[in-house]
Structure 1
Amino acid sequence: MHTSPKPPLDGADQPLDLPLDPTAPPPPPGSLILDRPSAAAEEDAAPPPAPAPARWRGWPIVLAVLIPLAAAVAWVLKPDPPLLVLSAPLLDFGSVRLGSTSPPLTLTVENRGERPLELGPLAVAGDAAADVRLVAEDCSGRVLDPGETCIVRAVLEPTARGRRLAELRIAGELPASPRRVPLIGDGIAPRASVEPREIDFGEHTVGHAAPPAAVVVRNLGTSPLRVEALVFEGLAAGDFALHDDRCSAAPLAPLASCRLELVFVPTAAGRRQARAWLRSDAPEGLPAIELAGQGLAPAARLTADAASLDLGAQALGEAGPPRTLTLTNAGTAPLTVTSVEVVGAASSRFAVDAAACTAAPLAPQAACTLAVTFRPDRQGPAAATLRIHHDAAGSPHEVPLSGLGLAPGIRVRPPVLELGEVPVGSRGGAVAAVIENTGLAPLRIASAIPAGDDARAFEIAGDGCSGRTLAPETRCEIAVRLRPRRGGSYRGELVVRHNAGDPERIPLAGTGLAPQLAVTPEGLDFGTVVLGAGRELRLELISRGRAPLRVDGLRLAGRGRRHFALVDPGCTRRPLPPGRRCALRLRFAPTAVGEHGARLEIVHDGESGPASVPLVGRGAEPPRPQLAVEPESLDFGSRPIGSAGEILTLTIANAGDADLELAALRLAGPHAADFQLVPGSCAGRGRVPPAGSCTVGVRFRPSAAGRRGARLVIEHNAAGGSDLVPLTGVGEETPPAPG
């Protein structure tokens, strides 16, 4: 291929040769390829040697276009600079207790650019830089290829409370170097306070504990406070002790409080002082608690809880409730009560139980109780003195005693309790006796019990008095009723026991109304009844008392009771008023021959108790027919074949006591045709009365030679239902006539 020469460009006097070598390696990616001839062009370009090419002066223009274009392409295809990417924008260590180390936090550093990233040294800076420690890192001075990472691990070890701020600085080939990563956390720690700071337990006897004193511990910090121990220091440290510990069992949360109790037990007399230190995990520790107390030498001192005892008003002859007097050893040494007595003009009316106080010495601050009772024997005031002897200063100790004797009075209205007429077995109406205290002392009623021969017939319907104490001019009631168990009058008394003197005896009176039973007739004889039949008889019950008669039950008893039956038990349905009567019907139906006896027992509420009515009856066989045949068989002897013999007669008799019914007369057997029934008096009769009879005839006509037999069958209503009469005869051949 040949190109025509062109004029050179201005200012260019040399041509621009761009040789193209087909064996040269390809340009790198992103290179700008200006020209490359094809193989065909190369063939076309192989003509015979030609003259030297002429200079083309248009190359400067081409270069002016291509050079900026190549620069632009080179800028577009230029690799991205290194790009540093962090796994977190900051590291937050949270709350960390002073003196401890947080869990390590990891920061991953990655080069996401297209060129290697060269990192410089890492550094921690800021106000709390000393609190942050890098425990591991592989980034300092390292070159990260594109996509490669390195890590930084750091921990927080706070040295002060509150927010801790620092930063991790990463230097390197970066647009803004160093790169800063915030590091934050909070330092926490408990802060303890104690109240009060001083405790004075006051004066206490040597060896005796003072009341516990409370100490309040508060956590004013930001993390749990652990109280470890309480330590006592000082010359009298052994006199003080921890009584109750409610702080060391579990850590104390922030702003929470707990309580300790300290106790003082002096071991010697005089001023006792010590100091208590509370050990905890608070950084600042706790201030000391100043402790003090006064030890006193022991000494006994008797005190009583009352200056005098008034035992109040009491009924004559009765001891009132005990009044107690408490003695206390208010000193600091044991005290012994040697004896206790009552002295004075009325000393016999007072009694004292001092066993609880004289049995053993009283320890310091211990107490015992005396029990004093008053039992007057005359009306009016009584006075005495209780004298207590002991081994302390001020013995004997005296306590005045006083009491008032009073007498009760009793009045009963009405003087007699009339309980009226009451049916036997029922309860009458209640009648009340009113008891009133007419005296000046309380009236105590112990019991109220019916007495006398008929005491069991009287019942207490209501008792508002027994076991009760009536104040003067007050009253109570006791109600009594009659429950008679028989007819007639009842007498008794209500015995009321009390503290006003002899028992009161209130007369009791009443009448029992009893029903009475009469039976007519007094026995039942049913006579003779044949088996299978029955007979009914009537029995009347009569109420003859003064109260309604109640029949509670009827029953048959005795060996023959199965032959009797109660047909109508109507008398048990309702009470029978006096003078009224009701009827019973009984039936006798024997099931066996002979005499049968039983009794009807009547249970009622009458005075006589259960009634028994005898029952008797006889069972007999029913009349039955009895067949008798005479003769018992018929023998006709020998007869020529075909000839009829004489008629033989049978007599049928009734030997029983009921009609004999003849149902049928017939011949049966193998030769029944050789015999013939001849009507007699039995013909046309179906019934034969007792001791009666009838006849029937039979004729023999043999039809063959030899022994001939049959049976006369008599069907009837007697035992067995049928009878058989044997019939026999002999048939003979007739000899031929001579000739």
Structure 2
Amino acid sequence: MAWAASRQVASWFPGLSTLLAAMGTVALAAVLAMLLAALAPGLARAQDADNGERLYNNPIVAGQRTCGNGACHGGLPAGAQNRIGNGLNAAFIQSAVGQQAQMSFLNGRLTVEQYNDLAAYIARALGRTPTFLAAPPTARPTLAPASLNFGSQPLAQATPLQTVTLGNAASATAALTIATLGVTAGSDFAVAGGTCQAGMALAAGGSCTVSLSFRPTVAGTRSGTFTVTHNAGSSTVSLAGQGGTSTPVIGLSPSQLTFAETLGSSAPSQRVLVSNTGQAPLLFSAFALGGQHPAEFSLQASSTCVVGSAVAPGSNCALDVNFTPAAAGTRSAVLTLQHNAAGASSTVALVGQANSTATPNLTLDALVLELGTQALGLAGAPATLTLGNSGDADLRFSALRVTGRHAADMVLGGTCQVAVPLPPQGRCTVTVALRPSSLGSRSALLEIASNALTGLAAISLQGEAISLPAPFVTLSQPALGFGRVTVGTSAVPRVAELSNTGSAVLQIDSITSSSAEFQLTHDCPANLAAGQRCALRVAYVPRPGNAAEQVVIRSNAFSSPNSVVLTGLGVSDALPQLSWEGSPSSLAFGTVETGRTGAGPGLTLVNQGPGEATVSALVLVGPDAGVFSVGGGSCMGGLRLAQGERCTVVLSFAPAIAGPRSASLLVATTGSPPPDIALAGTGATPASGTPMPPVMPPPATPPVTPPPVTPPVTPPMTPPMTPPPVTPPMVPPPVTPVPPPPAPPATPTPFVTDVNSLDFRAITVRTGGRSEALTLRITNRSTAAATLRAAEASAGFTVEAGPAGDACSGVPWTLAPGASCTVQVSFTPSTGGSAQGELLLTAQDNSSHRVALMGEARTEVTNVGAGASTPWWLLALASGAWALFRTPHRRRTLA
């Protein structure tokens, strides 16, 4: 095979055969691999010799000769004539079409790809080497099916929707841009929905759908064309339907009746509903019982369908049937209705089970439940299934469950209950609603297990999920901890940002907190636009002892209600107060190129007293905390500051992608913390060919060398770190610095979570035990479907799918744009003491998102807060603490 390929390559490049002959097999394989790799971009262009053969031998323009006609170039290879060899070069074919009168009818009828296909076929037929035209980027539209037939439909009534799919083939080299969508003017067909829209661009491999309907206005055959115009021309689907005359249309529900009765007794009657959905009266000419055991079934006088009477259009009547078994076993018959609708007759199957003892019998009013079209992530209107007991003993359900591929998307309800008996002739309902977790068709089975002789019954569930704009709530901090605060004073107010990261307006119904100790204010409007944010500001005026509360946000978001946990501890001690020198409230980094690092001006932290305070941790929290970092200053975890002493904090900003980014800097301390510092910066895409000089930090004030660090009595969140030796800052020489080569930007992950950390330290968990699970919502923030390839938790923590209908049921798990799903994380310590780890979410493109995890194996829950004797005070501090804890951990994975 390698030699055959080498001969083909040699035919493309004269003189190569001599070189190949002198090479061994191994060298040949290596050269061939490199040559084919070099040719790959050109070969990727589709030259289809088979398509070229069809173009050559079949009319391209109706009524005109083919290229293979004897009066033109003749059949290949035997009948080749009229300089057909020039056709080895696609450019010659194109030139001939424009210059030769005999071929002018082809002018404007062939694409570059078709010229290349013709050249490929001529070269194959003649055993020669082709030359191709360079193909410009081209969309490759597909529209399927090619035709739709809506069948016969009563006048002025619309048919169920039928769907066509417009796609751009994976081999396309340009996006397919939709210009218009429409049907033949004046036809009885209409565009009734779908995901395709004018102006939409479909990438290679992408697709969208169009829903079409047929509503005949006159009788007879109706036809039309659905046309999509786009940047590759136009695509069509032929449409056909039959407008019905004014005739009745009969419907039977159900089409089978099933009875169960003890010998010597008569079963209660069951009803068949006969409907007329046509445009003319439905007339009955006869009702007849036939089959194997017709004498054991009878029509009851309570029936409202009568021979010789008419059922008006849109109306219905009923037939009541009774069963009186004459012998044990299965008994059957057929009820036939003679009428003036299509087919002239209809039948209802009758099945009875004659038992020697009393038994229950399960009846269902449907075998399929259509759940309709439903927006992603929202529960639709429930469909109802009625269950009946037509037997003469109690019917007991042992299971009412949903199984199948999309079982998690189905929400059950109704009055039927497991272990609650349904008496003879009783009825109950099961409701099913669709709450889809991803786009597309959704299907499952509703299984009903009971003590009926029929055993397990299964009902098909079908629905369709579509994407609609929806809001999404993101909180910069899931918890605000105030720690220890002296009674009679007020803690520095803390702020949590509420952002609408969805694609629709967030309608905020209420933002409430019932505690008198935590005083809430906010600037959130009733309607928060997509991409906007507002602030929740909380002040803490403590009473003695622990305080715990939450701010509850109720809205139209799928995750509502959302909450922010509030904690604090009122003490009688006078606590040292830490503050920022100069009282800054924010730090702006300006614009920094992606892949570069910018440093902001240093911050100075001062202990105002009274007494000594320990800086437990410097923590970054917020939606973009990962692009900011702390380092280079003298402040660090475990540092003790005497009254009047100060230390410095240096922060940097390293954006991976373009756009505005924000976070907050928090200080965990044994004293009263300073106000949070709001951080902001903007990532910018580097200008092509114009390197940007590196962002240089301003000269820093020499920090005061801190005293030796003595470990505190109670360990902080992370092990105390001895500060490195302080080196005085160096003043750079007055020369223009040479910018370093930019680091490759990190691949932005499509996934975000509703919080950046999960803290189990407020939950009592003993060694070897398992905590209550905390729920984490994962959202695809990108504009394309994204696949979650892995979800891994560090040792001591467990991640798994939750019981919710929107759970991520396993990996890989694909989410549509803006869609979300949930996982549950538990703390499962095997040793005592504190534990820290992370949940690593990895996308299909290997980009990742991290959620910090922390827990404490202990037997007593104490107050957590910024001023507590240990820094267990802030749920959101975990994300920053994790930046100080980078030791690799063994992971537990979501299966």
TM-score (norm 1): 0.24
Which structure is higher in helix share? 2
More RCO (CA 8 Å, sep 6+): 2
Larger radius of gyration: 1
Q: Give TM-score scaled by structure 2 length.
A: 0.20
- Greater fraction strand: 1
